């Protein structure tokens, strides 16, 4: 059933490969983001918007191919929605990158360590999402991959709660410094939520096709 639905022709194959590229670029952006925080390098963070633009170009090509007739009609909206959720992860990561441009070395060591942990988990979730997408075309159940992503997301939530407590005790010099720090943490932890949403949607697609 899955082979007939997904591997029906060259256009379908092209869309599948482009979705893989889309997720791989998100992985690259997540990896770049993590390294920028680890090295406290604001210049390195510029790769995130560059990769977001590349991902957005691929997203438009995917949607165009789908509306040109790739895949069976009942599946087109589901694939488009999945791609849109992945694109949302790009947007949130880019928002976090912009906030980091201001923060940079202003992150104290304790908060910075937690942010690096979250960035590392976000990267692992991206990589697992790619594996889950590739599994969609096999007879293997997506349940384990979906569960792994949920576990990762729960770890981010746990770190987030600790971070919020630390932020409440942190002295800030101005309202805007506090807001930017708060927004940075909010965007950084939001990435895992969006990836989990993408994984859940992928699992729903998998179940509906069996």
Grouping H, G, I as helix, E, B as strand and the rest as coil, residue 69 is: coil
CB 127 within 8 A of CB 20: no
Average pLDDT over residues 105-113: 81
Band of residue 8 on the pLDDT scale cut at 50, 70, 90: low
Nearest to 22 by CA among 50, 68, 62: 62
- The whole-angstrom separation of Cα 122 and Cα 14 is 27
CB 22 within 8 A of CB 55: yes
Q: Which residue has the tokens 């790619």?
A: 130
CB 187 within 8 A of CB 99: yes
pLDDT at site 96:
96
Which residues have a Cβ under 8 Å from the Cβ of 96 and sit 6 or more positions away? 33, 184, 187, 188, 191
- The whole-angstrom separation of Cα 207 and Cα 210 is 6
CB 168 within 8 A of CB 76: no
Residue 155's domain spans which residues?
Answer: 2-208
Band of residue 6 on the pLDDT scale cut at 50, 70, 90: low
Count: domains in the chain: 1
Q: What is the pLDDT of residues 52-107, one digit of tens each?
A: 999 999 999 999 888 877 666 667 888 889 999 999 999 999 999 999 988 766 77
What is this structure's pTM? 0.90
Band of residue 172 on the pLDDT scale cut at 50, 70, 90: confident
Nearest to 205 by CA among 18, 19, 11, 14: 19
> CATH number, domain at 124?
1.20.58.220
Least confident interval from 1-10, 77-86, 129-138: 1-10
């Amino acid at each position: 059933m899955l082979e007939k639905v997904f591997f029906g022709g060259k256009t379908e194959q092209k869309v599948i490969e482009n979705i893989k590229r889309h997720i791989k670029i998100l992985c690259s952006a997540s990896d770049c983001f993590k390294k920028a925080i680890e090295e406290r390098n604001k210049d390195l963070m510029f790769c995130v918007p560059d990769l977001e633009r590349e991902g957005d170009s691929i997203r438009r090509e995917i949607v165009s191919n789908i509306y040109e007739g790739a895949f069976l009609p009942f599946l087109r909206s589901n694939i488009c929605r999945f791609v849109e959720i992945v694109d949302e992860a790009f947007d949130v990561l880019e928002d976090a990158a912009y906030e980091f441009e201001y923060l940079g070395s202003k992150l104290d060591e304790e908060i910075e360590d937690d942010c690096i942990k979250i960035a590392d988990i976000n990267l692992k979730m991206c990589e697992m999402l790619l594996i889950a997408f590739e599994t969609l075309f096999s007879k293997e159940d997506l349940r384990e991959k979906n569960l792994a992503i949920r576990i990762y997301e729960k770890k981010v939530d746990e770190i987030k709660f600790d971070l919020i407590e630390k932020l409440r005790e942190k002295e800030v010099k101005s309202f805007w410094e506090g807001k930017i720090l708060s927004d940075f943490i909010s965007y950084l932890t939001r990435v895992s939520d969006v990836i989990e949403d993408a994984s859940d949607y992928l699992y729903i697609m998998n179940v509906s096709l069996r």
